[in-house]
Structures are given as structure tokens and as C-alpha cells.
Structure 1
């Protein structure tokens, strides 16, 4: 049983040395090659006498990023991935918080890193591969690493406008990946179609389940998501079996009727998380891929992406929301009301979802105040220290005893004397014919709900349908038709940008 993520690779490189581990449009790298390249990176860091220090990775999303990340882990340090497509202001903010000892980049990005490196040393990936690699020395360092040591600091998408660095140990990742493998029956025959950026928590299941199980991860070029025919052809050519994508990407492909462009019969599982999956577009996917299981995954970055999962096992009305399912085997959910009393059934109404787990992260890098705010003592346990994570998500039980996501606490508003979940409005708008994507925000200055939506539906038709679906106090005061919905770097709807736009409406 692995205790460190590198142990996955040690075992798999012996069992499947020449098998394709990671694939992008330009290169395929085997498990043994992944290990060798990772050890070269580790050796370069060990020779610098670095241990338990932050190392930033500044590279394009491609196969070499994986041994870069793993090499940092082998050396006993921890990584933060910076995408070269990130805005400079975001990169500088992350580097200012992280203060890395080293920035690992490749030759093509050396000049860009020189302008942002601050006090960090620059390590060039190609140089590391040409340097000496003393395996025994590296493995001796590896023996000093504990499962509780930090593997990475992942900076969240920052829906509030400020990214926070979530500190995650090896143990949390190993426990989640082991639990997910058991739940989803991953094997060496699986081919993961990676959509998520490598700095986004959803990517870790692609990366590390491949290491654990000897499967293959195909890193899909970002450009392909703008060209559905290319994307569908890539999935067919690579014989992808598992997708774990944000709903926004699935919605766009369904709306563009791209699902029949290629043969996707090898896909056995479509998972989604990070946002609510609209039922209308889910049904399009289910019709196009009748052989596949569809799974709603729930789990914040602070719980190492894990939490719960729901196999879609029945039909749902288009204005409904999917259950978030049952917790993974190493997670426990607690629904607490405003007085920290546990809600156990549908009669209790909605409450905040709190998580107890071996896969809880350590909180936020260099931000103890915020850490203490959401990682607290379990209020139901007064006998010994036991941390729980307050997700900020409001949930409730339905009549079947399933947990339903209601909305974010910060998306709940008080309007016209009523408590309103903006997610309730969005779920109903999603069911309107001709609406493709939508998002509701609240203009606090003008006390007005603003609906942004895309699609062919006329505003007058949207108004008529909303009047049938919602009480008057829930109907948005402004409705804005967009040609396209803005998305952040993770592919989610950019709520922060929309809220800023709504300030003038």
C-alpha cells in the first residue's frame, strides 16, 4: 500500500516499464521514462540541498509537466504549477505568497521566468535531464519523507477574486486516489482524457490514478476545446475510456451537437464536478453515450477534490439537481444548521456541509486567519481535537434520503424579505428551451438579481417561462443575453467577472 505518491510510480514502473503513461499531441512518455525524468529533476534539487521547500513549475501543459511535479516530490519538496496562460498579475500574486526557492521551467520559457522570478533560482528542465542522477542518493532522501509532508500547494480559482494556496499532503492524495479507484474500478486498461489544467484540483485524479493503476492519461490540448471536431477525433483516436471534466465543457459540446462527430464507444465513464451539471445537457450526453456511466462528483479543493459521488441511476426533470451521492470510504459528511446542530433528514431543511476526512488538506499557505475560519474543531466532539472543514456549501436531504446541493452560502441572498438561493433560479433557467448556459448574480447596491444567459431563447420567452416556474420575488430584475458566457482558466463560469459587470445594471 503506497504512502507517498512516488511509491505509485516505483511500483508501476517495475510492472509496466514500457507502457504509455502520459500522452499529448507531440509526445508519449512511458512509466520508466516518467520515473527517469523525475529522478533527474529530483537530483538537481537534492544537489541544491533543498528539502520541504516550495518549487514552482512554469511550463506549458504537456507530458513533461508530470515528471517535473514528481521530481519535486522525490526530492522532498513540494510543487505549485503555474500555467503559462495565466495572467501576469495572477502569477505574480501566487509567487508573492509562495516565495519559491526554485522556479522549474523549460528552455522556451526561460526569458519569461527571468522577468517574474523575484529571489527564486531558475532550474531549466532540459539541463536537469542532462545532469547526473544518483538514484541511491535520491531514494535515501525519499526515505525521509513522511505521508504527512506536503506534496503541493494548489492555488484555487479565486471566485472571490483572490487566489488562496491550499496545502495538501501526500497522505490526502493517496487516500483519495485509492478510494476513487475502488469506487470507479479503475484498471490498467483505462485511458483518461484529461481536460483540467494541471494547477486545478480535478487533474490530480487523472495524473495519480494513472500512476497507481498503470493506466494512461491523454493530455488534451486546450485549443481542441475550441474545435469540437478535433476534440472528438482525439478522444476516438486515443480510445479514451474515462472523462472527468467541468460541466461547462460538457455543456458546450452538447449544445454544439458535437457528440455524434466521432465514435465514442470506448468511453465507459463520464464524471463531472466543480459546478452543477444541467440536466438538459446531461440527457444529451446520456443519449449519445448509452454505454457509459455518468457520475456527479462532489469535493472542494480543501478536501483534495474527494468527497462524494453519485452514479446517475434514473431520469430527472430538467429543472432538478442531481444528488451529490454518498461519501467516499474515507470521508464523513456532517450537515450542520446555524446552531451547529446536525441535520439528519429532509425535515431539517438546509444546512452547511462539513467534512471529516483523512484527506483534509492543511488549510491555506501563509494564511492562518482564513485557515482557522473554515478548519475548526468538530462542534459535535468536545472530548479531543478533531478538525472538520466547513465547505460553505448549503445542502439538504431529499425525500429519498439523498444529499442535494442547494447553493453556496455566499450565493444565498435576502431579497424582498425572502431567503433565496441563486442556484435555485439557475436550475430553473437551465430547463428553458433555447437556453444554453446561465448564471445569476446579485447587485447588492441596487438590490437586484441579474440573470446572464446564452442561447437562442428570446428574452420575452425567458420571461414567460420564468413566470411559470418561479414566484415573483425570485424572478431576476434584469436579464442579459450574452453571445458567449465568460469562463475562467479552469473552464468554470466566471462568476466574479459577471458580478463585476452586474454592478452597472
Structure 2
């Protein structure tokens, strides 16, 4: 595939197959011709509002065809789009707008009324109408920024990860080939647009002329709704965090249904998939290819592992696999250490800070296994000290997750110094038959040294999650009364 700027993917698909469906959103379906026409109109409107190459355009709204068309319009101008989750409070939106010196905020009527800062210039989708002729597309350099994804920063301030056209395309082209994506596919878009998982859903579809089917935020964690969506909307490719699939299995009776007839590929990323649940899904869907993808927002997917029937005898988490997206992966120190990523998907940098140069240090720890694959250990910053030993909480969690009575778990530390002890917060598979502390200690003792055995246990119905579905350790600490 020849690399072209992201804006040209929809233009090319509209020229090849104008009547083919591009986006499904509930009862609404738009073809590639219609999406191209909408993007043309929004491009002219944005230019009329003064948006120029390099400007930042924030988009704060629920997922819709209109949101995608505005993203496309920004790209055609050479502007940088900044998607924001609809659940963001207005104060955070204004903070992000200020931090990236946004030229414009595009939103809906309800959200526009919440913006009070005179520094944030906003316009509603309904007002993006113009009689001006369609503007000429700006053809950016592939290394120009295309979009900014804001993530939570360690200081509490949002952090803008700036990605180029080349960054996105290096991943998309690899992913299209790895999954065998074709024009006949229909991809489920579970992730919010500000989460890097959505890049495959959107641009994988546009690259091949396939269709993407949007899951809105009010549907994203409704188990029954998600199961119906997967089974009834002719989805062929599913990509989400593991917790969404676990939710569907536990509360949506996903495994009580027959294997979805049209689903051929299931991809998960963003967090470890508890091995018991993963193997239950692998067993129930023998004809579906399954991939475990790994990579932080700063690199998108840089490692991949295909889960097959050979994994059914595993007791611990599946590997994150081998390098993907033409990345070069090293460990520092070698064999077991921090994952360091180099290659075409590594971000341009954080908005407002100096450009990123060279390899990116992920802060994630991994080890090489005998097959030359990376096994994820956990976060470097999750390293704690208990009983005089430095330990990685992810190491404890991966063993606890292998216990058949454990559906989900988070390990944490209670107390400090000599009083520090390991505590496990567990979601049981069956609330009527929860695991006991003694049973979990005995289970861990077979695989872990004594200093890694948990000292205490609490049972919860579910673990707190961020808006992207990942474990929210800050909220977990607050709920457990931790500092």
C-alpha cells in the first residue's frame, strides 16, 4: 500500500465504491459518497471560520457521522483534530482548549451552553453550513501532525499525545494486513474517539473501503446491548478492551449464545485479559481469530500475539507477543526490563513540549520467553516494596487471575514501611462461592515466592474503571481508604 495522508483514504474509497456503506450509527447509514460530500461541506465551513493548516480543532460530542465528517474536514485543511470524550466536564474541555491553543471547538447545542470561557471559540454542528464552494484539500507532509489524543497525566493535568499521518498509517497498514481486512468487513467501534483503539476501527475501515459501526457511550458498557450489537449487526471484526468482553460474558450471556456467524476476528488491547475468561472465550469461538495487541497511546500497537487453540492449556496470561507496525522493541535491561519502542508509530511528542526524539520508553515491564515473545509483567511505576522486597503488582495479579474463582483482581499495598502488606481486591466469578484468603494464598504459594503472597483480601462486585475501560487505580485506592 502506498502511504497517503489520512484525509485521502475516504476520498479514494468514495472514488472506488461511492455507494458502499462507510459509517453505521444506529439506524443511520451513510455511503462513502455521502461521507465525502459531508466532509467537503464541513471543510468549506471551517475555512470560512478561519481554520488554517496546523490549527487545532476540538470536537466534543457523542459519536456520530457528523463527528467523523468534521474530523475528515479538519484533515483536509491540514488542521489537527482533537477528539474529546462526551463525558468530559466543561472545565476540562476548556483546560484542554487552552493547553493546545485551539482555534475552534465544534460541539452540540447542549454542550455549547456549558462553555463559559471567552477564550474558547465554539460552534455547533448545525451552524457548520455554508454556501461557499468546497475548499481545495491541503496535502500535508506525512510527518505533519494529524490528531492529538489527550490522556491523563501523572500530574493530574491532561497530556496531549501528538500523532502524525505517518504514525497512524504505519499502524493501520500493518493492522489491515494482520487481520486480513477487506471491503466487505464491518468493524465495531467500541472505543471513544479520544482512545487510540478507535484509530484501527476508523482508518482500517477507510483504508479498505469497509464499514465502521459506532457504539455510543451509553451503549459501551451495557452488557445486553453490546451482545445484541455484536450478534445482530453483522459485525465481522471486533476490537475493544478485555473488560468490555468480560462484561458481555458475565452479564450479557455472550457464551450462552452460538458463536457469532459473521464474526471472524476479535482483537483486544489496553489491559491484560484474565486468562480464565480469555480461554472460555477462545473455547466458545473456535472459528474466530483472536489477537492480543499491546502498545501505549504514544506508540499505538507495537506488539501482537495471536491466541490460538495451543493456548488452551495456559495457566497464566498470554504473551503480548512480537513486534508489530514495523516497530523495534528492546528491553532495558535485556531479557527482563522496560519495553523501549522505536519505529514509525512513535509519537511526535506531547503538545506544548519539545518534540520527542528517538525511542520511547513505555514504563511497562516485560520479559522474553523461550519462544522469543514478550510477556507483560506490569508497570514500572507499580513497583512497590513489601517485607524488604521490591515487587511488581502485575506479577501478583497475573497469578491471582489464574484462580478459577477470580474474575478480576487488583493488587495494592496497605500500610507503609514495616507495616506494609499486600492486599487483593477481587471480583469473584460467583458471588455465592467467592474465593477465600486461605485458598488464594495456597494458590499463589505454588507459583510465587513467600514475599509475594497476599496478606488480606476484599471482595467487590466490580473494579473501578476509567472512561476508556482500564483499571482506575486512583479510584481503587480511594475506595480502599488508601493514601
| Unpaired runs of at least 5, structure 1 | 338-342, 377-386
The alpha-carbon distance between structure 1 residues 76 and 395, as it changes in their structure 2 partners (threshold 3 A), is: same
| Aligned ranges 1:294-443 → 2 under 5 Å | 294-303=290-299, 305-313=300-308, 314-317=310-313, 319-337=315-333, 343=334, 348=335, 350-368=336-354, 375=356, 387-443=358-414
- Three-state SS of the structure 2 residue aligned to 1:210 is helix
For residues 243-279 of structure 1, give each alpha carbon's deviation from its aligned partner in whole angstroms, at most 9, with x where no partner exists: 1110111122223332334661211111111101111
Rounded Cα–Cα distance in structure 2 between residues aligned with 1:20 and 1:159? 41
Cα distance in 1 between the residues matched to 2:285 and 2:476: 33
Give 1:390 shift: 0.6
Q: Could you tell me which of 412, 426, 433 is aligned with 1:453? A: 426
Query: Where do residues 20-39 of structure 1 align in structure 2 (5 Å cutoff)?
Result: 20-39=21-40
Q: Structure 1 residues 14, 367: CA separation in 2 closer, same or farther (over 3 Å shift)?
A: same
Judging changes above 3 Å, is the alpha-carbon distance between structure 1 residues 444 and 198 closer, same or farther for their aligned structure 2 residues?
Answer: farther
8 Å Cα contact 1:233/1:262 also seen in 2: no
After superposition, residues 52-451 of structure 1 pair within 5 angstroms as: 52-112=54-114, 114-115=115-116, 117-128=117-128, 130-135=129-134, 137-139=135-137, 142-143=138-139, 145-158=140-153, 161-256=156-251, 257-261=253-257, 264-303=260-299, 305-313=300-308, 314-317=310-313, 319-337=315-333, 343=334, 348=335, 350-368=336-354, 375=356, 387-443=358-414, 445=416, 447-451=420-424
- State the 1:36 CA deviation: 1.5
CA distance in structure 2 between the aligned counterparts of 1:467 and 1:87, rounded to whole angstroms: 45
Contact kept? 2:170, 2:325, Cα under 8 Å = no
Q: Note if contact 1:319-1:430 (Cα within 8 Å) is conserved in structure 2.
A: no
CA separation of 1:110 and 1:171: change in aligned 2, threshold 3 A: same
Distance in 2 (CA, whole Å) between partners of 1:153 and 1:501 is: 32
Question: TM-score, normalised to structure 1's length?
Answer: 0.88
Q: Is the 8 A contact 2:98 2:119 kept in 1?
A: no
Contact in 2 for aligned 1:161/1:496 (Cα 8 Å): no
Instruction: Quote how far apart the aligned CAs of 1:500 are.
Output: 3.2
Query: How many residues of Structure 1 are paired with residues of Structure 2 in the alignment?
Result: 472
Q: Is the 8 A contact 1:21 1:216 kept in 2?
A: yes
C-alpha separation in 1, matches of 2:89 and 2:313: 40
Structure 2 unpaired stretches of 5+: none
Give the CA deviation at 1:236: 2.0
Partners of 1:17 and 1:33 lie apart in 2 by 8
Q: Could you tell me whether the CA contact under 8 Å between 2:80 and 2:146 is conserved in 1?
A: yes
Cα offsets for 1:121-177 (capped at 9, x unmatched): 22221221x312423x322xx13x221111111012457744311011111111211
What is the root-mean-square deviation of aligned Cα atoms in Å? Answer: 2.1
Task: Indicate yes or no: 2:477 matched with 1:499.
Answer: yes
